[in-house]
Structure 1
């Protein structure tokens, strides 16, 4: 396998039902022109979109078409995503993602579809993150989808399909992707993370909860160490010293994407506590129980506060160090550190 970017992934793990639904329509010559692929972040939406593009753009030489798609050089494939470089920008973790897909991206789609297919067949547009399109871009894409040219295919992905314009959503066939089961997830990670040992892959699979793309990002961001740190934070002394807070922040920010990864893992740790507490409350056997959270509402509000903190920090380009200190201070002030 040459890489872990969705366009480079050679083997699709899971999502057999979605692939079969599309393949039946393609083989029967009744392919709908717009498909909305939805599911959790990292679950494989973009990977599936590229696999579907390979089917449609295979032509007389499927291997050559696949290589071009993997390299990002196929002339009849346009990819729109929130990269800093626009519609055809290369995936580059160093680049800061824009907050949304904008009207210029939609205009690029229109220009692309007005050209004749270079290979004489279909033209395919992948919009990765349709739910992140602003209203102007969404309306422009809607007009293109309402009156598509011949042999034009739209493959649209959305982690939050409810944010997609209802009129746009109604023009699409829907493919909803579920989390991978444990065995499929481990098989995917064996392909995507061949240099990691089985124990690491299992731990990453647990953290990623059926989303292989999420596991790959966690691996790149030292997610296992940050997960342990998140657990240590929640088990810390109820009134930690200022020096402790600075040590935590320094440890987080040594990682390139430490801020967002740590806040996500801390939020997920709190969510896991809430889920475990609810399960224990509804058990009616007499088996020993782990402590039930004393104030689940406070834990839930804290989780929401952390999610908002991350969103505001990234949207407003706030200082990561100060935001982390604010979050740790909040956990201490509401009295959640070191308590069930």
Structure 2
């Protein structure tokens, strides 16, 4: 792999990102609901990974915490959820230090290894958060990034507070797979689906994040393969990453047939320690499986889809172990395609 493919591009965290590309209708829906004075207390922001869901959630949290009165003239005149980065609320959110914002997300365990789920103990922080006076009688906002990663006990703990939301509370639940969220949680949320960005939108967003010119050939190539995801385009930047994506996609398209020689070649292409290559491979597999699980065909083979969903979870666990413990990549490739071939026969 070339050094260009191995270069990690620094990208601002969504809490630090002031600009949102696309999703104008979704932003307007949030703004109009807030300034009506009757905003639903919980929103499920759903859509493909890397298209701006968390950025929109932080953008909404920033606006609410900067403008606590929905009927104030500044809110009523606002044309978007934009908040000046120099605003005190924006600065505190960017620093992860705003008393009115709680973020539930996966954290590292005592050994420094990232957990695979959001735990019930972390979710129970919402009880203290919404029961405290830390927000100084103002709005309190909870972002769950992502609700897909709540373990069953954590999901039930969140459900309890969603059922009896405190006054001036707002929940923004991010989900890559809204169809897999507990129906009891879904029933208590206003759903806000986001669509993948256009190719032009991806180019604009990546150009803003990286400083690359919008006509840079590597950027255009990454945007074409990104399927509307800014995060995916950033991962694919660099010719080797795009080639690896196409190689993986071709092998996935041939399932359940497997060519061992092609798998060996793919394993070699992943290299020994290239994090970008591994991320590209895992992302390509993840999106392929996700697309098959999201089928709306009423005649779909449900037992086959159930097998595929079970395999998907195993693949993600194996990929996380490979990344965290720097394991050999070729066994992962053979294991992933072996499981997928069995599940798709």
When the two structures are superposed, what TM-score results if normalisation uses the length of structure 2? 0.71
Contact 2:247–2:266, Cα closer than 8 Å, also in 1: no
1:85/1:32 CA distance change after superposition, 3 Å: farther
Q: Within 2, Cα distance between the matches of 1:316 and 1:228?
A: 24
Aligned residues: 293
Contact 2:109–2:115, Cα closer than 8 Å, also in 1: no
Deviates more, 1:182-191 or 1:120-129: 182-191
Of the three residues 207, 210, 223, the one matched with 2:225 is 207
Gaps of 5+ in 2: 1-9, 69-82, 293-304
1:173 aligns to 2:190 (yes or no): yes
Per-residue CA deviations over 1:92-121 (Å, capped at 9, x if unaligned) read xxx754221110111111111111143541
Bigger Cα Rg: 1
**Structure 1 counterpart SS, 2:43:** strand
Q: Within 2, Cα distance between the matches of 1:172 and 1:47?
A: 19
Q: Within 2, Cα distance between the matches of 1:223 and 1:108?
A: 40
Of the three residues 274, 280, 284, the one matched with 1:255 is 274
Quote how far apart the aligned CAs of 1:181 are. 1.4
Question: RMSD over aligned Cα, in angstroms?
Answer: 3.8
Q: Within 1, Cα distance between the matches of 2:106 and 2:277?
A: 21
**Structure 2 counterpart SS, 1:127:** strand
Alignment match, 1:313 = 318
**Structure 2 counterpart SS, 1:150:** coil
**Structure 2 counterpart SS, 1:253:** coil
1:30 aligns to 2:30 (yes or no): no
Per-residue CA deviations over 1:20-77 (Å, capped at 9, x if unaligned) read 1111111111111111100011111111100100110114896221122122121211
Q: Within 2, Cα distance between the matches of 1:82 and 1:218?
A: 24
Of the three residues 147, 150, 159, the one matched with 2:176 is 159
Of the three residues 34, 43, 63, the one matched with 1:55 is 63
Contact 2:286–2:312, Cα closer than 8 Å, also in 1: yes
Q: Within 2, Cα distance between the matches of 1:133 and 1:329?
A: 27
Contact 2:41–2:170, Cα closer than 8 Å, also in 1: yes
1:45 aligns to 2:53 (yes or no): yes
1:222/1:59 CA distance change after superposition, 3 Å: farther
**Structure 1 counterpart SS, 2:124:** helix
Quote how far apart the aligned CAs of 1:183 are. 1.9
**Structure 2 counterpart SS, 1:140:** helix
